[in-house]
Amino acid sequence: MNRTMINELQGKAGEKVLLKGWLHRVRELGKIAFLILRDRTGMVQCIVETGKISIKGIKLESVIEIVGEIKENKSLDLGCEIAVEAIKVISAVNYDLPIEINKGELEAGLDTILNNRVLSLRHPKTNAVFKLQAVLAQSFGEYLKSNAFTQVFSSKIVGGGTEGGTEVFEIKYFDKKAYLAQSPQFYKQMLVGSGFERVFEIGHVYRAESHDTNRHLNEYVSLDLEMGFIEDERDLINLETEMLKYMLSQASLQCSEELRLHNVQLPEIKGEIPSIPLPEAIEILKREYGKTDLENDIDPEGERLIADYVYKTFGSEFVFLTHYPRSKRPMYTMPADGGLTHSFDLIFRGLEITTGGQRIHSYEQLRTSMLERGLNPDSYPGYMDVFKYGMPPHGGLAIGLERLTAQLLGIKNVREATLFPRDRYRLNP
Amino acid sequence: MNRTMINELQGKAGEKVLLKGWLHRVRELGKIAFLILRDRTGMVQCIVETGKISIKGIKLESVIEIVGEIKENKSLDLGCEIAVEAIKVISAVNYDLPIEINKGELEAGLDTILNNRVLSLRHPKTNAVFKLQAVLAQSFGEYLKSNAFTQVFSSKIVGGGTEGGTEVFEIKYFDKKAYLAQSPQFYKQMLVGSGFERVFEIGHVYRAESHDTNRHLNEYVSLDLEMGFIEDERDLINLETEMLKYMLSQASLQCSEELRLHNVQLPEIKGEIPSIPLPEAIEILKREYGKTDLENDIDPEGERLIADYVYKTFGSEFVFLTHYPRSKRPMYTMPADGGLTHSFDLIFRGLEITTGGQRIHSYEQLRTSMLERGLNPDSYPGYMDVFKYGMPPHGGLAIGLERLTAQLLGIKNVREATLFPRDRYRLNP
């Protein structure tokens, strides 16, 4: 008999089926036991007459096979249950479970959850986080592919010449020193200039920052894109707006059950996302919230407050902050008038989820920008080449996949939106 | 005026268009110059009356804009050309090009090609390699997603407990030592047992092997999958067969121009791929080719010869070699009778492109297998957990993306199928 998945049981009362999965819960009532079987598609109640079929010694989370008949039961969410005719243990559990995963909420501290990842991920709410995350990554790629972007895979081991500004992890590379890439920034620019014009990458990036917050990871998945022949950063802002609409529509379509489990509503993007130049945002924060400690930059509190302001004023949960000052952006950022830049961040529900902007495409201008910051252009030979040999106006952006996932689901700590997070103290599992 | 892409020009004679791209080639004939403009979609001939419009000083590979009228010209592949009305240089080249990229073949040594990656990638044949590569990676994901696999992102920084057998790169992780993951093997098994049942990952893996061959890289993209509730390795062999059919059909559909440039035919898979147990393959090599130096294993020469035999005998360019001996497979491989295993390699045109197999799912059996090989199960706490708490029968496989790309295009050195290859000596660009 072929395996039937639990989400295929509805409307088939009377049929005999073979189910496989994990034993999620057991309740014994006299001569009857109610087992909950869980597979990757859901859960079903299975009724066992314990006088005929023994379930003694079968511990929770054992992998079992059940043969039985589908019975209609309208009082259950699924609309049916299984009258069990045979149970077989495929993989027995002989150990006590370190955490309980058969309650509505996973009641354990973050460290316990992460230390017992293979169990905590079995909890339907935890599992749902990563089903949504997969759809977000995939729909990012689908949207860009349909807009003539080529997916690329750039090296994460770099010989030197990092962007500056953040710490990097050092690797022993045979007899040399190398570093883990803090972003595919240089590579994606080089690939735009290599004739691809439009590229995207979905891959890990590494930051050796030692601070320990609920929104930072030392390794995360960056959804990166870069495109050539743009006018300015507005082209990127428009692209991201349409891309997010597509990603949210796919999440809504493919993850309705996952979103229901988390009891969240996806944000709506109607038309354009509001866009505020940073200097104006700083004025608004002063005027509306009496926040006077900002100068030329915004802090996490400021991001939360400006998000609050935009939601109250425009009804949008997203806001683009634009025109960051030159001093706050990397050397490759295209300058704008008044010491500002053609750059932007996207704030979603009070947290920055994207940084992007137009880049400098002139070799001489880039050299000058590096020298002004005390960087040596000769340390970046492969990168500088592309600007010598014909580079179109271009720009790009990067979205932190774990942050986007966490913000959509109302998860407070980005580690919970990471399968196997890496931070200052955590290297396992 | 909006930009028109070169592949949109056909059938629009008489229209005025704005084109943008790189100046690929120039030929001057008296008062007329023929420019070839290249964008991400192709190339077009543009006719300039040099008495009216000067092209003096515009070097090859400059980024330019051309405004002109589309003229029918049936003697050209494209069927049309551009009568230029205006040229504007967007990004001038002021340097001599270190390599010529406007010939039919890129005539340079591998080191020169890789050292000048941003230029060599502009050559249409080189560029085409990575267009195909993107389609292969994407169609791998599409096929698996439509078969209920969840895409996952596992950590590439591991605290210890590697699979053994290959060397790893060491990272300075704050005050600890860590390593670059040599595969997502442990994580994908853990995720099968975490309730996802079926997972895939597209990501980099790292091997610190110091040998220098044309088929090895120290960093490559691994197309990984793992699935639960299998009977044995035949389920994986069947899955890979159908998946490859889908990937090849997508490559054929989406990359006809790229395949034409490389003058290659995609292989056909009709029905099943031939499957030969390794001991039988060794006998065949002895009998048919007088190759007597193999015992319990196969070498690269043997792989080429068995591929030759299978092609002559069955007309297939693919062959699964199965039942490798236990001594040649990792500790997690499911044993079969006679000291063999439920494992396989897939050989394509004489090169191994996949390794896979069923894994041990019993905690006790896995412990024993580790101890037999002198490994300490306590070094793998996160991994071992999943076998304690209910693990279904499962297995998986991994395909090397660069190898598959190279073999499909008849590329001899896998470095040429890597955007920015990393080997014993190469860390840049």
Residue ranges of A 383-412 with Cβ closer than 8 A to chain B: 383, 385-386, 388-393, 401
Contacts of residue A170 in chain B, CB cutoff 8 Å? 171-172
Identify whether residues A22 and A156 lie together within a single domain: no
To test the contact with chain A by mutation, choose from B180, B235, B389 the residue with the greatest count of A C-beta atoms within 10 A, namely B389
Q: How confident is the model at residue A160 (pLDDT cuts 50, 70, 90)?
A: confident
Share of chain B above pLDDT 90, in %: 96
* Residue B119, domain member (yes or no): no
Residue A164 has pLDDT above 80, yes or no: no
Do B158 and A202 count as a contact with CB atoms less than 8 A apart?
no
Cα–Cα separations (whole angstroms), residue A193 to A160, A186, A370: 21, 11, 19
Contact A193/B at CB under 8 A: yes
To test the contact with chain B by mutation, choose from A23, A250, A389 the residue with the greatest count of B C-beta atoms within 10 A, namely A389
Structure confidence at residue B163 (pLDDT): 66
Residue A263 has pLDDT above 60, yes or no: yes
Residue ranges of B 19-48 with Cβ closer than 8 A to chain A: 20, 22-23, 38-41
Chain segment A23-75, per-residue pLDDT in tens? 999 999 999 999 999 999 999 999 999 999 999 999 999 999 999 999 999 99
CATH number of B76's domain: 2.40.50.140
Share of chain A above pLDDT 70, in %: 99
Residue in chain B nearest A137 by alpha carbon: B151
* Residue A209, domain member (yes or no): yes
* C-beta of residue A165 within 8 angstroms of C-beta of residue A209: no
Residue in chain B nearest A209 by alpha carbon: B174
Residue B259 has pLDDT above 60, yes or no: yes
Chain segment B364-412, per-residue pLDDT in tens? 999 999 999 999 999 888 899 999 999 999 999 999 999 999 999 999 9
CATH number of A345's domain: 3.30.930.10
Secondary structure class of B422 (helix, strand, coil) = coil
- Which of A172, A363, A422 shows the shortest C-beta gap to B170? A172
To test the contact with chain B by mutation, choose from A135, A194, A200 the residue with the greatest count of B C-beta atoms within 10 A, namely A194
- By DSSP bridging, strand B42-49 and strand B80-91 are parallel
Q: How confident is the model at residue B162 (pLDDT cuts 50, 70, 90)?
A: low
Q: Structure tokens of A333?
A: 């950022």
Residue in chain B nearest A388 by alpha carbon: B93
Chain A: closest CA distance from residue B96 (Å): 8
Residue B165 has pLDDT above 90, yes or no: no
Residue A210 has pLDDT above 90, yes or no: no
Distance, in Å, from the CA atom of B352 to the CA atom of B329, rounded to the nearest integer, reads 15
Contact A217/B at CB under 8 A: no
Structure confidence at residue A169 (pLDDT): 96
Q: Evaluate the CA torsion angle B263, B204, B358, A131 in order and state its sign.
A: negative
Residue ranges of B 241-300 with Cβ closer than 8 A to chain A: none
Chain segment A353-366, per-residue pLDDT in tens? 999 999 999 999 99
| Region of B305 on the Ramachandran plot (φ > 0 left; ψ -120 to 50 alpha; else beta) | alpha
Q: What is the mean pLDDT of residues B43-69?
A: 97
Identify whether residues B45 and B189 lie together within a single domain: no
* C-beta of residue B129 within 8 angstroms of C-beta of residue B417: yes
As for how many domains chain A has, the answer is 2
Contact A116/B at CB under 8 A: yes
Identify whether residues B267 and B310 lie together within a single domain: yes
Structure confidence at residue A166 (pLDDT): 65
CA distance from start to end of chain B: 37
Structure confidence at residue B131 (pLDDT): 98
Residue A373 has pLDDT above 60, yes or no: yes
Contact A235/B at CB under 8 A: no
Tokens 């804009």 belong to B65
* Residue B84, domain member (yes or no): yes
Q: What is the mean pLDDT of residues A153-177?
A: 86
Residue in chain B nearest A152 by alpha carbon: B134
Residue B166 has pLDDT above 70, yes or no: no
Do B208 and A174 count as a contact with CB atoms less than 8 A apart?
yes
* Residue A100, domain member (yes or no): no
User: Amino acid identity of B397?
Assistant: L
Contact A83/B at CB under 8 A: no
Chain segment B272-298, per-residue pLDDT in tens? 999 999 999 999 999 999 999 999 999
| DSSP states along B226-253 | EEES-SSHHHHHHHHHHHHHHHHHHHHH
Q: How confident is the model at residue B210 (pLDDT cuts 50, 70, 90)?
A: confident
Contact A336/B at CB under 8 A: no
Strand partners, B319: B347
Identify whether residues B68 and B130 lie together within a single domain: no
Chain segment B338-362, per-residue pLDDT in tens? 999 999 999 999 999 999 999 999 9
To test the contact with chain A by mutation, choose from B39, B102, B153, B403 the residue with the greatest count of A C-beta atoms within 10 A, namely B153
Identify whether residues A82 and A151 lie together within a single domain: no
* C-beta of residue B421 within 8 angstroms of C-beta of residue B114: yes
* Residue A35, domain member (yes or no): yes
Residue A211 has pLDDT above 90, yes or no: no
Identify whether residues A53 and A143 lie together within a single domain: no
Contacts of residue B169 in chain A, CB cutoff 8 Å? 157, 171-173
Q: What is the average pLDDT score of chain B?
A: 96
* Residue A211, domain member (yes or no): yes
Structure confidence at residue A165 (pLDDT): 57
Do B38 and A151 count as a contact with CB atoms less than 8 A apart?
no
Structure confidence at residue A212 (pLDDT): 86
User: Amino acid identity of B151?
Assistant: Q
- Which of A3, A118, A392 shows the shortest C-beta gap to B229? A3
Residue in chain A nearest B427 by alpha carbon: A159
Structure confidence at residue B160 (pLDDT): 77
Q: Which of B91, B110, B132 is the last residue of a domain?
A: B91
Identify whether residues A128 and A276 lie together within a single domain: yes
Q: What is the mean pLDDT of residues A81-97?
A: 97
Q: What is the mean pLDDT of residues A345-374?
A: 97
Contacts of residue B156 in chain A, CB cutoff 8 Å? 156, 204, 219
Identify whether residues A189 and A313 lie together within a single domain: yes
Q: Which of A91, A115, A145 is the last residue of a domain?
A: A91
Contact B57/A at CB under 8 A: no
Structure confidence at residue A186 (pLDDT): 97
Identify whether residues A259 and A386 lie together within a single domain: yes
Residue in chain B nearest A139 by alpha carbon: B142
CA distance from start to end of chain A: 37
Q: How confident is the model at residue A161 (pLDDT cuts 50, 70, 90)?
A: low
Structure confidence at residue A162 (pLDDT): 66
HEC assignment per residue over chain A: CCECCHHHCCCCCCCEEEEEEEEEEEEEECCEEEEEEEECCEEEEEEEECCCCCCCCCCCCCEEEEEEEEEECCCCCCCEEEEEEEEEEEECCCCCCCCCCCCCCCCCCHHHHHHCHHHHCCCHHHHHHHHHHHHHHHHHHHHHHCCCCEECCCCCEECCCCCCCCCCCEEEECCEEEEECCCCHHHHHHHHHHHHCEEEEEEEEECCCCCCCCCCCCEEEEEEEEEECCCCHHHHHHHHHHHHHHHHHHHHHHCHHHHHHHCCCCCCCCCCCCEEEHHHHHHHHHHHHCCCCCCCCCCHHHHHHHHHHHHHHHCCCEEEEECCEHHHCCCCECECHHHEECEEEEEECCEEEEEEEEECCCHHHHHHHHHHCCCCHHHCHHHHHHHHCCCCCEEEEEEEHHHHHHHHHCCCCHHHHCCCCCCCCCCCC
Chain segment A273-332, per-residue pLDDT in tens? 999 999 999 999 999 999 999 999 999 999 999 999 999 999 999 999 999 999 999 999
Identify whether residues B195 and B85 lie together within a single domain: no
Chain A: closest CA distance from residue B221 (Å): 8
Distance, in Å, from the CA atom of A21 to the CA atom of B41, rounded to the nearest integer, reads 49
* Residue B117, domain member (yes or no): no
Domain membership of residue A372 as a residue range: 124-417
Q: How confident is the model at residue B422 (pLDDT cuts 50, 70, 90)?
A: very high
Identify whether residues B232 and B328 lie together within a single domain: yes
Structure confidence at residue B203 (pLDDT): 98
* Residue A379, domain member (yes or no): yes
Residue in chain A nearest B390 by alpha carbon: A62
Identify whether residues A175 and A60 lie together within a single domain: no
Q: Structure tokens of A373?
A: 């910051």
To test the contact with chain B by mutation, choose from A127, A153, A204, A399 the residue with the greatest count of B C-beta atoms within 10 A, namely A153
Q: How confident is the model at residue B415 (pLDDT cuts 50, 70, 90)?
A: very high
